[in-house]
Amino acid sequence: MDTKKGALQISFGWLFAIIVGMFIIFLAIYGVIKLMNTEQTTLDVKTGKQIGVLLNPLETSFESAKTSSFTLPAESRIYNGCNDEGNFGKQLISISQKSFNKWTETNLNASFTNKYIFSKRIVEGKKFYIFSKPFDFPFKVSDLIYMTSSEEVYCFPDAWGDIEEELSNLNQENLLLENCTEEMIYVCFGGNCDINVNYQDGTVEKDGEIMYFSSDALMYAAIFSDVAVYECQLKRLMKRVGELSLLYGDKSILIGNAGCDLEIKTDLAELIVLAGNLDESQDILGLTTNVENLNEKNDAGGDCKLW
């Protein structure tokens, strides 16, 4: 058979080797990409879990508030998720980091049952500030954790009294009382700012929506959170109020054997029902009378105090 001049002569062996070689290289590249994605997801989940573990030391004892910060190795987005199902609900944290100028995708969460983080749904940055404050209702329920990015600076131009003192003592770099500039987020206790606090009515107005609070701890929570995060975390807190009320109710019976008679069990049972029925933050205002009653009865208990 004549061979045409100029035609490429490739033997079957070469052709076979090229096709299979390409297949092997394709498989190798595919495997490496998959492995890189898995590694990135692993890193994201690990970082999320690490953040949760690092929040343990923020549990306060007698301090009124405590601040801390952490820096991640790359520009990151922390997704603050909240699930209010079950006995206590869940705090979910997932991380997305910038890799090759693209945000990594992850739908894997690190979950914690005993933590309450108040922040925007997505907090973006490299350095993050966290401060915590105990929430009493009327007994200590938990330490609330407020997380903000160093890229967002909050200004409290007209903060007064305890709030001014507390913010000043915190000395957190992105919470300012003076020397504010236009690009900052203004939080005002009177007037029209980005976030408006009505301390008397117990409301925080943000992005046209209103959140209700009954203590300073919840006021900060409303200031630094998105409405959805705040409402969900509040429901989780009320679930814990219910569980703690059960403990204190049973404790009152136990110490009753030692001669204590506080007559507080009915009020605690009422609190369990009211806290369990909380559907939105507005309902918290209806609980304040009950909480005050409980506090008075407990304070009057002398040696028999429950908390």
The residue ranges that bind other proteins (CB under 8 A) are 12-13, 16-17, 20-21, 24, 27-28, 31, 35, 39, 42, 46, 49-50, 53, 56-57, 59-62, 87-88, 112-114, 139-142, 240, 243-244, 246-248, 250-251, 254-255, 257-260, 303-307
Closest approach, Cβ 257 to other proteins, in A, equals: 7
Closest approach, Cβ 17 to other proteins, in A, equals: 6
Residue 151 vs 243, nearer CB to other proteins: 243
Which among 194, 146, 182 is positioned nearest to 166, based on CA atoms? 146
Torsion angles phi and psi, residue 195, rounded to 5? -125, 125
119: which residues sit within 8 A by CB, 6+ positions away? 78, 80, 146, 147, 148, 224, 225, 226, 229
Residue 110 vs 287, nearer CB to other proteins: 110
Residue 219 vs 244, nearer CB to other proteins: 244
Residue 74 vs 140, nearer CB to other proteins: 140
Residue 203 vs 252, nearer CB to other proteins: 252
Q: Which amino acid is at 297?
A: K
Residue 110 vs 185, nearer CB to other proteins: 110
CB-facing half-sphere around the CA of 91: CA atoms within 13 A: 21
Closest approach, Cβ 21 to other proteins, in A, equals: 8
Closest approach, Cβ 301 to other proteins, in A, equals: 9
Closest approach, Cβ 292 to other proteins, in A, equals: 17
Closest approach, Cβ 37 to other proteins, in A, equals: 13
Residue 135 vs 189, nearer CB to other proteins: 135
Closest approach, Cβ 187 to other proteins, in A, equals: 29
From the CA atom positions of the chain, what is the Rg in Å?
28
∠ CA 61-65-67 to the nearest 5 degrees? Answer: 110
Q: Contact at 8 Å (CB) between 233 and 83?
A: no
